[in-house]
């Protein structure tokens, strides 16, 4: 008899392309069928078959407090009793905007949208309007959503599928997107030397999180700031993942760098759909209705998403939470490193704060080329073993895992014990 997850996946494949509403959920990269989740609480997700898993996906990052945190649920319920959508301004969006501007010194004004993709595509439109230039620079392996301008050597699901770009994008449009190498300032300088009169902006994940977790090398981000300033182009930090994940603010707060524009999402919605982009007032004032750059959205600033986000940020403002997250993630990472070493497995574990990635790779992973040398089949085998033992890791080598406040010491200890068992289950190497 088929499990409920398998039954639902079979039914979904006849109704939804690939049976899922976002590609990486299909579990193709790990040679398995997806879980269908029935409910979640704290550090656990429970599938429709009743199996419980310690969850390190955390809805791909937003659930920094864990699933169904009581304060967030209370805020959503209270907001819902007043109506789910107005198509008009509400108090919560003003409160959220105030909290973002307070937390990010680089953001003087902010516009709410409904997703990270909306935020990034709006930010580059705004950058082009402000500079009067047309081209943008992005980095191979960095993912900024599924807008046409970004689906060139992108990360996340495109890396998993081995697709360098996406059909349906006219070739002429790709001429406006230039590709540089993450952590390689010279590749950026070369592009500016060739196209300096027409580069509107450089967009970058300050911490790359969509080719697995890849950290910026010293001086890389400051170098981008210096180069864009020199050529009168804008610097856009895509902090959809890192916004409020590592500190109360963004990675820019830690690095001490002020980009011209910042895109946000995930955590600021407390688990509900959300996005935002913001920056200097003189740039943001070009957006309609104040300026000529058009961007709109019926559900932008939705009262439920804003209420959930405000409740989340209020808790995160208690700074000790980040210390707890960092210590729990560090314990997990150190424990995993020891287990892999004892098992003779060559891995590189990148981590920062409450984010980590396990690369089955015998070299340091610091840019796209080294990411792509990873043993995806070995990762898939480890993923399947961990899932069988009740631990839910990202279902692809090229994604980032997250620790939430709901992950207790017991969860970390149990995860390490399950990892030891999983390593024993892996097929022996040739």
Edge-to-edge strands, sheet with 348-352: 348-352, 355-359, 401-402
Helix residue ranges, H only, 132-219: 157-161, 171-174, 185-195
Burial of 282 (0-12, 13-18, 19+ CB in 10 A): exposed
Element spanning 10, H or E? helix 4-13
Element spanning 119, H or E? helix 116-131
Q: Decide if 238 is catalytic.
A: yes
**Inter-axis angle of helices 320-342 and 409-425, nearest 10:** 20
Provide φ and ψ at 411, rounded to 5°.
Answer: -65, -40
Comparing CA positions, the residue from 18, 59, 266 lying closest to residue 161 is 18
Question: How many helices (H) and strands (E) are present in the chain, helices listed first?
Answer: 15, 14
Q: Among residues 44, 55, 266, 277, which one is catalytic? A: 266
Gap between the Cα atoms of 45 and 66, Å rounded = 10
Gap between the Cα atoms of 394 and 57, Å rounded = 6
Q: Among residues 184, 238, 260, 411, which one is catalytic? A: 238
Q: How far is Cα of residue 347 from the mean position of the Cα atoms in its chain?
A: 22
Is residue 40 within 8 A of residue 72, CB to CB? The reply is: no
Q: Decide if 258 is catalytic.
A: no
Q: Among residues 143, 182, 322, 392, which one is catalytic? A: 143
Q: Which DSSP state fits 396?
A: S
Is residue 109 within 8 A of residue 285, CB to CB? The reply is: yes
Q: Which residues contact 352 (CB under 8 A, 6 or more apart)?
A: 207, 213, 215, 246
Structure tokens at 78: 């209270």
Gap between the Cα atoms of 293 and 268, Å rounded = 24
Q: Decide if 28 is catalytic.
A: no
Gap between the Cα atoms of 236 and 138, Å rounded = 10
Cα–Cα distances in Å, from 276 out to 253, 300, 387?
Answer: 17, 9, 34
Structure tokens at 120: 């990034």
Comparing CA positions, the residue from 148, 163, 265 lying closest to residue 205 is 265
Gap between the Cα atoms of 115 and 355, Å rounded = 21
Gap between the Cα atoms of 283 and 94, Å rounded = 19
Active-site residue numbers? 143, 238, 266
């Amino acid at each position: 008899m088929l499990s409920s997850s398998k039954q639902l996946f079979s039914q979904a494949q006849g109704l939804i392309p690939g049976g899922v509403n976002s590609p990486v959920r299909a579990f193709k990269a790990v040679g398995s069928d997806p879980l269908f989740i029935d409910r979640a609480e704290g550090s656990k997700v429970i599938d429709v078959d009743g199996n419980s898993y310690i969850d390190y996906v955390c809805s791909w990052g937003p659930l920094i407090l864990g699933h169904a945190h009581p304060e967030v649920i209370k805020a959503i319920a209270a907001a819902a009793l007043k109506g789910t959508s107005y198509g008009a301004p509400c108090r919560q969006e003003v409160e959220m905007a105030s909290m973002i501007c307070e937390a990010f010194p680089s953001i003087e004004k902010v516009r709410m949208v409904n997703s990270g993709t909306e935020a990034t595509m709006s930010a580059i439109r705004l950058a082009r309007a402000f500079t009067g230039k047309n081209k943008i620079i992005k980095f191979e392996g960095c993912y900024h959503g599924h807008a046409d301008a970004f689906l060139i050597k992108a990360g996340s699901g495109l890396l998993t599928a081995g697709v360098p770009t996406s059909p349906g994008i006219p070739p002429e449009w790709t001429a406006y997107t230039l590709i540089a190498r993450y952590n390689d300032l010279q590749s950026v300088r070369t592009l500016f030397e060739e196209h300096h009169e027409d580069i509107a902006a450089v967009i970058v994940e300050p911490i790359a999180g969509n080719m697995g977790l890849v950290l910026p090398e010293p001086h890389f981000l400051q170098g981008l700031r210096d180069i864009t300033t020199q050529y009168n182009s804008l610097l856009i930090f895509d902090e959809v993942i890192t916004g409020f994940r590592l500190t109360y603010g963004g990675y820019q707060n830690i690095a001490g760098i002020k980009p011209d524009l910042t895109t946000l999402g995930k955590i600021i919605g407390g688990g509900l759909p959300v996005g935002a982009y913001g920056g200097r007032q003189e740039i943001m004032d070009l957006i309609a209705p104040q300026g000529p750059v058009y961007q709109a959205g019926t559900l932008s600033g939705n009262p439920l998403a804003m209420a959930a986000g405000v409740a989340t940020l209020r808790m995160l403002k208690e700074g000790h939470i980040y210390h707890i997250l960092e210590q729990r993630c560090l314990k997990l990472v150190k424990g995993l490193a020891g287990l892999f070493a004892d098992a003779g497995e060559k891995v590189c574990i990148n981590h920062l704060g409450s984010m980590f990635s396990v690369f089955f790779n015998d070299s340091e992973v610091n840019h796209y080329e080294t990411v792509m040398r990873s043993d995806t089949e070995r990762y898939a085998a480890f993923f399947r073993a961990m899932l069988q033992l009740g631990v839910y890791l990202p279902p692809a080598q090229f994604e980032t895992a997250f620790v939430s406040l709901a992950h207790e010491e017991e969860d970390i200890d149990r995860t390490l014990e399950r990892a030891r068992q999983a390593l024993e289950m892996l097929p022996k190497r040739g």
